[in-house]
Amino acid sequence: MEFEQIQLEKQEDYLKILAQSPQISSDYSFSNLFGWADEYDLTWAWDADLVWIRQAKPEALIWAPIGPWNSIDWQSVTDRTVENGTCFVRVPEVLAKLWEQALGKRIVIKEDRDHWDYLYDVKELVDLKGNRFHKKKNLLKQFIKKYDHRFEPFGPKMIEPAMAMQADWCNWRDCESSEVLSSENRSVFKILTNWKSLEGLTGGALIVEDIIVAYTIAEKLTDDCVVVHYEKGCPDYKGVYQAINQMFLASLPNTFKVVNREQDLGEDGLRKAKMSYNPSGFLKKYRIAFK
C-alpha cells in the first residue's frame, strides 16, 4: 500500500467511508486525524473499501483500518497487506472481535485501557442530578452566581479570540516545558486555522466582560454522538470547566444522546477528572499484533 499525507481535499471521501464503519471511536474523526497529523506523522493509504492509517511518531504503528468491516474478507485482506510482526493500535472492540473470529491464532489481542473512549449520557451532564454530580452542580452554580456571563455557539467570529485565549492558556500551563501540551497546542491552532473547511465541527465559548474565559471544540461523530476534542478554561474563574461543559451540551440538538470525551492516555490526573463525571460506558480499544 502507498501511504500519503492526510489531505483536506479528501475529507468528504474519507467521511463517506468512515460512516460505513460499524463502530467509530474518537481517534478516527477526520478533524482528529487532520489536527494531529503533524504531531504523530500520520499518513493514510486507500485500498479498495478501506482506509489504513499509519503513524511514524513517536514510534511506527498502524491504526485500525476504517470502512465496512462486516463485509471484508479479513483473511484475504491481511494476507495481502499485513506483514508478520505488525502491531495495530486503537482498534475498536467491534473490529477486534471480528479479527479474533476471522484470524484466530494469527494475532495476539491485548486490551488497551489507556485508549478507551469515555462515554457519557448527555442528559445526565446537562441536568447534573443526584449525589453523583453534587460537586459539579455546586461549582456550576458558583460560576453562574459570581460572573456576569454569556454562552455563545462557536463560529468563525470566535476563532481569533479563542486563539488568544489558547495562547494565554499555554502561558498559564507552561506548554513550553511539556511536549504533550505543546503538541496539543499546535493541534488546536491547526483546527482553528482551518475551522471553516472542516465538516461537522461545533463548540461553544463562555464570555465574561467580552472576553472568552472558556471554549470547547467538538465534532459530530455519529447521528447521536458528539465528541469533545478540546476544552479549555481560564483558571481564574472558579467553576469555569463545569460551566462550559454543561452549557455546551445544553446547547446541542436533542438528537445527541451520547458525548464522547476521548481517552485519558494513562495520565492519572486526566483519568480521575474523566471518572469524576461518571461515564455511562466506554468504547474499548485494543492493541493487536500479527505473529
Whichever domain contains 232, its CATH number is 3.40.630.30
Considering the domain architecture, whether residues 34 and 135 belong to the same structural domain is answered as no
**Domain assignment of residue 290, yes or no:** no
**Domain assignment of residue 103, yes or no:** yes
Which phi and psi angles does 212 have, rounded to 5°? -70, 125
Which contacts of 69-77 are long-range, i.e. CB under 8 A and separated by 24 or more positions? 69/21, 69/22, 69/94, 69/95, 69/98, 70/22, 70/98, 74/98, 74/99, 74/102, 74/103, 75/102, 75/103, 77/50
**Domain assignment of residue 61, yes or no:** yes
Give the predicted TM-score (pTM) of the model. Answer: 0.96
Q: Into how many domains does the chain fold?
A: 2
Considering the domain architecture, whether residues 143 and 241 belong to the same structural domain is answered as yes
**Domain assignment of residue 288, yes or no:** no
What cell numbers appear for 179 in the block?
Answer: 511536549
pLDDT in tens, the chain (291 residues): 899 999 999 999 999 999 999 999 999 999 999 999 999 999 999 998 999 999 999 999 999 999 999 999 999 999 999 999 999 999 999 999 999 999 999 999 999 999 999 999 999 999 999 999 999 999 999 999 999 999 999 989 999 999 999 999 999 989 999 999 999 999 999 999 999 999 999 999 999 999 999 999 999 999 999 999 999 999 999 999 999 999 999 999 999 999 999 999 999 999 999 999 999 999 999 999 999
**Domain that residue 210 falls in:** 119-262
